[in-house]
Amino acid sequence: LLKSAYTYPRLPVGPIPFQDFVDLISDLIDRPTVEYARALSQDPNGTNVYLYLFDHMPEPQQPEITGTGHGMEEVYEFDFFVKDSEDGLKDIFRTPLTQFAKTGNPTNPLKQNQTWPLYEPRNEYFFRLSLTPNVSQHLYEKRVVLWTEFVSKKSDSPCDSGRDWWRF
């Protein structure tokens, strides 16, 4: 199932495209993040949960790879080698973090058209941080469902199943 989900369609011979491997590794981080957000958002004590996806690959990038690597937002948080064309992303990223630290809500009160909604189990809103930020729903929905509804039900832990589930 995992092999098909991450490699279909592909040629019968030859290496697996690197992007398929990147997607698999990303899901090993994204799925637990979504599960944690779901659990926290159902806290009876009323914990406010906000979820974001940093969705911008810094220049230069390899054109055959899409998406952003884990921790890539640190480039903008700490101003490491940011190109002039990406300069606006620093504020797009830093302002919500600062606002969240100050108030517990990442929404910038000065930008009326940019509200960051709470994450809640029904709609699962998250904020997509990029050069054109927007609110989206259900972070990688199909891939999260694959892991939460199929893989996790097949065994208590895919790593303990005795099979090399991660090998293609």
* Neighbour tally for 3: CB within 10 Å: 15
Work out how many domains the chain is built from and give that number. 1
Q: What is the DSSP letter of 125?
A: E
SS3 assignment, position 137: strand
Residues whose CB falls within 8 Å of the CB of residue 104, separated by 6 or more in sequence, listed in order: 48
- Domain presence at residue 167: no
Query: What pLDDT score does 162 carry?
Result: 45
Query: In angstroms, how far apart are the furthest CA atoms of the chain?
Result: 55
Amino acid at 113: N
Cα gap 65→165, rounded to integer Å:
23
pLDDT band, residue 158 (cuts 50/70/90): very low
Say if 165 falls within a structural domain.
Answer: no
Structural domain of residue 24, as residue ranges? 2-160
Instruction: Look at residue 99 and tell me if it is in a domain.
Output: yes
- Asked whether residue 166 is domain-assigned, the answer is no
To which residue do tokens 């030859």 refer? Answer: 14
- Average pLDDT for 100-115: 83
Peptide bond into 9 cis (omega under 30): yes
Q: What are the pLDDT digits (tens) for 20-49?
A: 777 888 888 888 889 999 999 998 888 899
Residue 119 maps to a domain = yes
* Contact by Cβ (8 Å): 51, 126: yes
For residue 51, pLDDT beyond 90 = yes
Q: pLDDT tens digit string along 64-101? A: 556 666 666 766 666 666 667 777 777 787 888 889 99
Evaluate whether residue 45 is within a structural domain: yes
Specify the pLDDT at position 155: 57
Least reliable range by pLDDT among 6-10, 17-21, 140-144, 162-166? 162-166
Measure the CA–CA gap between 132 and 88, rounded to whole angstroms: 10
